[in-house]
């Protein structure tokens, strides 16, 4: 099964992110937008794993969660990887929670390397993927929309109190995510 470890988002934060996507869609850019229900904060993509390996992963996630405290996240801005002039991935960034997410991702990366997973080659950057750019069509208009977008002044915060192991099933209509395991934080 194809899997990843992530932080789930509340419906209200996903709704806010969908409004950002709607604003950016007016650019006419060729972007494959992530479905609202599928937006999450990926901590580590695992790829194909066996049922036996999933048991070890669940135990590791439970162990990490026992020493992790709940924390807030909030949306700070939007941007693009590798850079806004040549976007491949459109994202929403975090302000609060970025450091805590990074610490958890690094712990997961370290512990999973002990059971055969390759360590990440790039440093972790806490972000919520909104879409993937498929071509350069209307990229200047997209850049302009991104640079001029201002998040509403409402405070979009969420308390994070667990991490989740998901299965990702690829279908012609898009990915379907199934929750396999949830590890609650200690406090």
Torsion, Cα 149 38 128 180, to 10 degrees, reads 160
| 72/94 Cα distance (integer angstroms) | 10
Lookup: tokens for 183: 């590890």
- Among residues 23, 86, 127, 162, the one annotated as catalytic is 127
Catalytic residue among 40, 86, 162, 181: 40
- Closest to 128 (Cα-Cα) out of 76, 180, 72: 76
**Pairing label, strands 162-171, 174-184:** antiparallel
Residue entry with tokens 């709940």: 70
Is 162 marked active-site? no
Residues for the chain: how many in total?
Answer: 187
Task: Name the DSSP letter for residue 137.
Answer: T
181 is catalytic: no
Please list the active-site residues. 40, 127
């Amino acid at each position: 099964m194809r899997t990843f470890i992530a932080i789930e988002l509340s419906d209200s934060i996903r709704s806010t992110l969908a409004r950002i996507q709607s604003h950016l869609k007016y650019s006419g850019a060729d972007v494959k937008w992530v479905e609202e229900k599928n937006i999450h904060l990926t901590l580590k993509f695992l790829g194909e794993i066996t049922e036996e390996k999933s048991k070890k992963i669940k135990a590791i996630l439970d162990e990490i969660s026992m020493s992790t405290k709940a924390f807030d996240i909030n949306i700070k801005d939007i941007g693009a990887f590798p850079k806004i002039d040549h976007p491949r991935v459109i994202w929403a960034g975090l302000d609060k929670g970025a450091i805590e997410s990074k610490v958890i991702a690094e712990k997961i990366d370290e512990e999973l390397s002990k059971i055969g997973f390759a360590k990440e080659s790039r440093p972790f950057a806490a972000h919520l993927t909104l879409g993937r750019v498929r071509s350069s069509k209307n990229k200047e208009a997209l850049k302009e929309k991104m640079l001029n977008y201002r998040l509403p002044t409402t405070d979009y915060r969420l308390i994070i109190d667990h991490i989740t192991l998901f299965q990702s099933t690829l279908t012609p209509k898009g990915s379907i995510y199934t929750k396999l395991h949830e590890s609650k934080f200690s406090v």
